[in-house]
Amino acid sequence: MKIGIDARLYEAAGPGRYIRNLIRELEQIDNENDYIIFVTGAGSKLYHPQNPKFKKWISDYKIYSMEEQTVFLRDLIQARLDLLHVPHFNVPALYPRKVVVTIHDLIMHKFAGKKATTLPGPSYFFKNIAYKLVTIFATRKACRIIVPSETVKNDIQSFYSGINPKKIIVTYEGVDDSLLKLSPIDTKGSTVRLEEMKITNKYLLYVGSSYVHKNLNILLIAYRDFLEKSATNLHLVVAGRIDNFSQRLAGFAHALKLDGKVIFPARYSENEYVKEEDLAILYKNATAYVFPSLSEGFSITPLEAQAFGIPVVLSDIPTHKEIFQDSVLYFNAESVIEITECLSKILSDENLRFDLIRKGNENVKRFSWKKMAEQTLQIYKESAQFRHKL
């Protein structure tokens, strides 16, 4: 079987992490099928096949562009694939052969509006319509829809009626071993790097974007209230790329008089991203991990925090309850008081911290990228065999 994977987001965060780990694990477990990995020029510099069955094909076309619907479509047809996996939802509309899609979440369905974008109103309006149309098309065209949690499966069935639930397959994601291998041994070197990022005290850690649904404004208010009550010098570290959303958040932190207390380490990186080496240092040395999101498809970063042995505090949304069960401390994401109380508990109760670290270590063992790749390979085989849509 000849399988194509649209890996044009290979170098990106989010879907890129999923793509990188999927391809890496497939190279380890599949010596039977042939693969064409479609990458951009930037992705080609990072991806070097380790299995002779895997070949890369440079398709340097932007996501959501007319080129994607025309020139990339031509590449896909020329490749003469038996099956195409699109690890996003942007399937070229006229592609005539079998497709498997991954839908990571439906957050753009749930959080639409002026606060969810930095685009001008008309541009965002048309972008949002295009997104919904493309997603509808992907769910209809796909042989199988891969999702990272039962929560996302339920969301798809809620937003898109008429889809056979047997068509939607849950494959849980995992923790990237390569990140854990970067865990610093040199304590002195870690301290120096933390100081370079302006982190001079113990700190709470958040890793991710500053998008509206991440609910970081509420976290900042709760953090301010916690500081006022506890008289501590604890930092809050927001480890995500520098963009319009993080700049907006920094302005809010300034308004709350939290300058020098809320730290954005990407400011001290060469490309305004947090390097993997720095991320490992941040995880390893954090006092606790806090994640107040209002909606997620899976939530990899809290799982990474557990793998690094950090106690985790999370919003009590359905995805988190599904993935983390009783291994974390939960709060109502819309309650400043509850978040403040949880911060106090996680920092003052050593027995609670020890218990959450122990449970976190056990929880991480339930998830692996290898298992996800094995399940995905089985989905490929089933999709190639069936003749009629579910």
Token reading at 44: 């080609």
**pLDDT surpassing 80 at residue 130:** no
Res 281: pLDDT? 95
Render pLDDT for 264-280 as a digit per residue (tens, 0 to 9).
Answer: 999 998 778 898 899 99
**pLDDT surpassing 90 at residue 36:** yes
> For the residues 133-148, what does the mean pLDDT come to?
87
**pLDDT surpassing 60 at residue 121:** no
Name the pLDDT band for 108 (thresholds 50, 70, 90). Answer: confident
The 3-class SS string of the chain reads CEEEEECCCCCCCCHHHHHHHHHHHHHHHCCCCEEEEEECHHHHHHCCCCCCCEEEEECCCCCCCHHHHCHHHHHHHHHCCCEEEECCCCCCCCCCCCEEEECCCCHHHHCCCHHHCCCCHHHHHHHHHHHHHHHHHHHHHCCEEEECCHHHHHHHHHHCCCCCHHHEEECCCCCCHHHHCCCCCCHHHHHHHHHHCCCCCCEEEEECCCCHHHCHHHHHHHHHHHHHHHCCCCEEEEECCCCHHHHHHHHHHHHCCCCCCEECHHHHCCCCCCCHHHHHHHHHHCCEEEECCCCCCCCHHHHHHHHCCCCEEEECCHHHHHHHCCCCEEECCCCHHHHHHHHHHHHHCHHHHHHHHHHHHHHHCCCCHHHHHHHHHHHHHHHHHCCCCC
Render pLDDT for 232-257 as a digit per residue (tens, 0 to 9).
Answer: 899 999 999 999 999 999 999 999 99
- Give the HSE-up count for residue 39: Cα atoms under 13 Å, Cβ half-sphere: 23
Nearest CA among 44, 67, 42 for reference residue 23: 44
Name the pLDDT band for 390 (thresholds 50, 70, 90). Answer: low
Report the C-alpha gap between 337 and 219 in whole angstroms. 10
Q: Which fold has domain 177-364?
A: Rossmann fold (3.40.50)
Residue 346 near residue 324, CB atoms below 8 Å: no
Name the pLDDT band for 157 (thresholds 50, 70, 90). Answer: very high
Task: Enter the pTM of the model.
Answer: 0.90
Report the C-alpha gap between 388 and 138 in whole angstroms. 16
Lowest mean pLDDT across 54-58, 121-125, 137-141, 231-235 = 121-125
268 vs 116 pLDDT, higher one? 268
**Domain 2-174+369-385, CATH:** 3.40.50.2000
Name the pLDDT band for 334 (thresholds 50, 70, 90). Answer: very high
Distances (CA, A) of 310 to 172, 188, 284: 21, 20, 8
Residue 229 near residue 202, CB atoms below 8 Å: no
Res 283: pLDDT? 96
**pLDDT surpassing 70 at residue 124:** no
**pLDDT surpassing 80 at residue 83:** yes
Res 128: pLDDT? 62
% of the chain exceeding 90 in pLDDT: 76
Distances (CA, A) of 359 to 92, 170, 218, 341: 43, 23, 27, 21
Nearest CA among 201, 203, 195 for reference residue 287: 203
Res 65: pLDDT? 85
Instruction: Check if 2-174+369-385 and 177-364 are the same fold.
Output: yes
Res 266: pLDDT? 93
Name the pLDDT band for 384 (thresholds 50, 70, 90). Answer: confident
Q: What interhelical angle do 350-364 and 300-307 show, nearest 10?
A: 110
**pLDDT surpassing 90 at residue 324:** yes
Report the mean per-residue pLDDT for the chain: 92
User: Could you tell me the residue ranges of all domains in the chain?
Assistant: 2-174+369-385, 177-364
Res 15: pLDDT? 87
Distances (CA, A) of 28 to 52, 215, 367: 11, 38, 17
Q: What interhelical angle do 369-385 and 15-29 show, nearest 10?
A: 80
> For the residues 160-184, what does the mean pLDDT come to?
88
